[in-house]
Structure 1
Amino acid sequence: MTSLIISIIALCFSIANVTWQIARFLLEGPRIRVRMKVGAVGRGNLISVPVENVKDLNETFASFESQGFSQLVLVVEVSNHGRLGVQLLDFGIDVPKGVSIKVVNDNAITDTPMPYILEPHQEGTWAMPFEYVEDFARTCQETWPRETHPLRAYVHRAGGKKIRAAQSLPLELTDSLVMKKGEYF
């Protein structure tokens, strides 16, 4: 009977130890968060606003342009809340159907080229011209004419994992680009 009790106690300790090791592995690695913003570049600066705070995209862009920010951009902001650094390979936008557009370094608007090692508790910001977003949205609309797809920013990290932004940008395309009235995901 004593050996059974000791075996049960040893089993409980071993399960607790394995659980703790798994928790430490998950908590101590890199924890990446991707945010998608819309913005503009001008006067040597980048101005941006999170997509969930934008009510009317055309109005927001008009406001940016009236303040001298002439090049409209989609901004991808990445933060590492983990305890290890992570190598980011590229960034872009995609739709739930699996189609994506990847920004090549020559076309990215950033001072930090990819690939980039994002150290713990650091942020990185990359941007692409918004005309690429419009072209990609038009391509998706021509491919699936009866569907509206939310566009979501992503980064690829070393090892092949794709991390997507929690926010999305649902767009309707008319003569001028208009943000679809509705909820964000």
Structure 2
Amino acid sequence: MTSLIISIIALCVSISNVTWQLARFVLEGPRLRVHLKVGALGRDNLVSIPVENVKNLDETFASLASRGFSQPVLVVEVVNQGRLGVQLLDFGVDVPKGLSLKVVEGVVTDTPMPYVLEPHQEATWAMPFEYVANFARACKETWPNETHPLKAYVHRAGGKKIRSAQGLPLTFTDV
């Protein structure tokens, strides 16, 4: 009976140890959150709004333009909530069917890629919204009877692609 009790205690300790090691592995690595926003540039500033708060793109851009922010942009914000830094290779937008847009030239913000995002830091990149509108038109021509939300992404070193949870459902009257 004593050996059974000792075996059960040893089993519980080993399970808790494995659980703790798994939790440390998950918590100590980089944990990225990608946020998709729309915004505009003007007066040497960038203003942005989360896509879930945008009801009409035309009205949003018109309102921003009336306040001096005249260049519409799509903003990708990345936050590292983990305990390790991570190298980001590129950013862009894509649709669930696999078509993606990566801006090679014409990136609005000054943060160069590749970029090392340290723990508990954030970085922001923006691209002219006209590129996104042209990409949305290409998606519409490729899949005329379907609508696909655009989602932001970043590529980590090692090949993993992290997407934003929120998407931008573009109606083609907006673009």
1:107 partner SS: coil
Q: Which residue of 2 aligns with 1:108?
A: 107
Offset of residue 71 of structure 1: 1.2
Q: Which residue of 1 aligns with 2:162?
A: 163
Please list every run of at least 4 consecutive aligned residues from structure 1 whose deviation after the TM superposition is greater than 4 angstroms.
none
Q: Which residue of 2 aligns with 1:3?
A: 3
Letter in 2 for 1:29: G
Identify unmatched segments of 5+ residues in structure 1: 178-185
Distance 1:6 1:109 in 2: 64
Distance 1:55 1:4 in 2: 64
Residue 48 of structure 1 pairs with residue 48 of structure 2: yes
The alignment covers a number of residue pairs equal to 175
Residue 117 of structure 1 pairs with residue 120 of structure 2: no
Q: Which residue of 2 aligns with 1:143?
A: 142
Letter in 2 for 1:90: D
What is the aligned-residue identity percentage? 77
| TM-score, with length taken from structure 2 | 0.96
2:150 partner SS: strand
Which residues of 2 match residues 29-48 of structure 1 at below 5 A? Answer: 29-48=29-48
Letter in 1 for 2:71: Q
Distance 1:88 1:9 in 2: 45
Identify unmatched segments of 5+ residues in structure 2: none
> Normalized per residue, which structure has more strand?
1
Letter in 2 for 1:160: G
| TM-score, with length taken from structure 1 | 0.91
Q: Cα RMSD between the aligned structures? A: 1.0
1:148 partner SS: coil
Residue 79 of structure 1 pairs with residue 83 of structure 2: no
CA deviations on 1:69-112 (whole Å, 9 max, x unpaired) are 121100001111111111111100011111111121x3211111
